[in-house]
Chain A
Amino acid sequence: MYLFNLDQLPGQQSMLFFHLLARMGIEALVLVSPKIPLASIGYFQNAEEEADLQFCKKANIPVMRREVGGGSTYLDENQIFHQVIIRRDHPLFSRKISENYERFSLPVVETYREFGIETSFRPVNDILTKEGKKITGEGSGDIGDCFVWVGGILLDFDYQVMSRVLKVPEEKFRDKIYKSMQENLTTMKKELGEIPPREEIKSVLIEKFEKLFGKLEPANLTPPMIKEMEKLEKEFTSPAFLFKKTPRIPKGVKIREGVEIIYGIHKAKGGLIRAIQEVKKERIKEISLSGDFTLYPKDCLEELEGKLKGEIRKKSWLNSKIDEFYDQEKVQSPGINSEDFLKAMKVEE
């Protein structure tokens, strides 16, 4: 198994390279960072619906769709990607996908520990600090005859740009994402007050991954590989691939396992209802309701928001809370009932 201990790669090569190796059937650990910022969307996402393409164009941030699952991410030089490419007949590959995540996360967890940050793997695909903040997100996929597992050490993170890269229905939603990321996503810089030398981090990563895979054989990018990546870049950035229709309907942004910002809009008889929620462990942490519907008494919407805050997102439970609100406040809402609120809140069960 090879070790590609690379520096920063231009354009989208830091992401394209693992696709190339997997298609070529080359088993490797790749450590790499992007030279320029880029936005990456999951295979089941459509760039038009998930990324603010206008902003990305203005900020010179290319958008690429990857052959790996998951959601939108913002990538830049302050991340060290660790990408594992193994053939699916490799003894460490398991069709039990969760097991692969757990196994390959261990060297990363140990690396953070070596630098004084206590972390652990949290299914499905996160590495969290002991305070429960996400410090690494992961994804995987079958490409060619290989299984790839990818993630990144977060040295530092530009929360502002990440929240700008995402396509959002309204600015309020962007603020929520930004604030929630600040609260739930951390970096080595945040944890340690400074960023340890990049080469030191990489050498610890290599040492830890070698405990798993055995001695890795150093290898370098070759000119034919670069040529192949250029071809791949054309394929990956083609409108046919980037804007391919997928069955995934954007409903929000997952910040880390158990924390997501959900946006919903519902056209009821009595008007449009918009709902933005921050959901933590299936409970509504924050909620903001708006729209062009009418409630009597006026200004009682805040009471409803307060009533729903902290509650578990179960249809029957929330229904009873909304009914309580109607009774207590003697609310009238022509053409709107509790079902309509639940639809806007995307509460299905």
Chain B
Amino acid sequence: MTKVEDYDMPEELYYHQEHMWAKVEGDKVKVGLSDFSQKLAGEISYIEMPEEGGQVNQDKVVGRYETGKWLGKIYAPVSGEVISINEDAEDDPTLINKDPYGEGWIFEMKMSDSAELANLMKGEKAVEWLKGEIAKHAKEKK
């Protein structure tokens, strides 16, 4: 597990610029919220999952979540069909805070075009990007 400052960032995952992670296994993609995002957003009170069986497009909003009276968005990292959602996280969204890359996964999809993975970040590129995000958002602003 790579750690960038205080934030976990498993190196085998792809990352979307809206701080979603994508775990690719063949044409299946498991999706969740990054550790950085969940830590900065705070405790998640409610989550609206994408619809199972629904078609989603890369970069589009597929769900919402609420933390501290803020309504955030869940994005699709790639296009495809939503094949399952994490009902445990729907019942207890704090699972996303407790274990963002494990028990707190959000949904799973069947990817329709693996070429879209090129639009996501991985490895060193993702680490550099996260460092920039930390500097922009996690440091005190005057």
Contacts and interface: CB of A to CB of B under 8 A. Distances in A.
Interface of A: 42-44, 67-70, 91-92, 94-101, 103, 123-125, 138-142, 246-248
Interface stretch (B24-32, B65-73, B100-108): B65-73
Contacts of B70: 69, 97, 100, 139-142
Contacts of B137: 94-96
Contacts of A67: 71
Contacts of A101: 68
A44 B46 CA distance: 7
24 contacts: A44-B45, A44-B66, A68-B71, A91-B141, A92-B141, A94-B141, A95-B19, A95-B41, A96-B137, A97-B67, A97-B70, A97-B72, A98-B42, A98-B68, A100-B70, A103-B141, A124-B42, A124-B68, A125-B68, A125-B69, A142-B70, A142-B72, A246-B48, A247-B48
Given A95-B37, A95-B41, A96-B40, A44 B69 contact: no
A123 B43 CA distance: 13
Contacts of A103: 141
A140 B40 contact: no
Contacts, number: 80
B41 A97 contact: yes
A247 B88 CA distance: 12
A303 to B, nearest CB: 36
Given A69-B66, A248-B45, 19 more contacts: A42-B71, A44-B46, A44-B71, A69-B68, A94-B40, A94-B137, A95-B36, A95-B137, A96-B137, A97-B40, A97-B42, A97-B67, A100-B70, A123-B68, A125-B68, A141-B72, A142-B70, A247-B46, A247-B90
Contacts of B48: 44, 246-247
B98 interface: no
Contacts of B19: 95
Contacts of B138: 94-96
Given A95-B137, A96-B137, A247-B90, A43 B69 contact: no
A91 B142 CA distance: 10
Contacts of A96: 40, 137-138
A224 B99 CA distance: 47
B64 interface: yes
A346 to B, nearest CB: 15
B47 interface: yes
B8 interface: no
B68 A43 contact: no
A31 B129 CA distance: 37
Given A247-B46, A247-B47, A140 B141 contact: no
Contact of A43 (B37, B40, B71, B133): B71
Nearest to A254: B69
Contacts of B90: 247
Nearest to B43: A124
B140 to A, nearest CB: 8
Contacts of A44: 45-46, 48, 64, 66, 71
Nearest to A245: B48
A254 to B, nearest CB: 10
Contacts of B36: 95
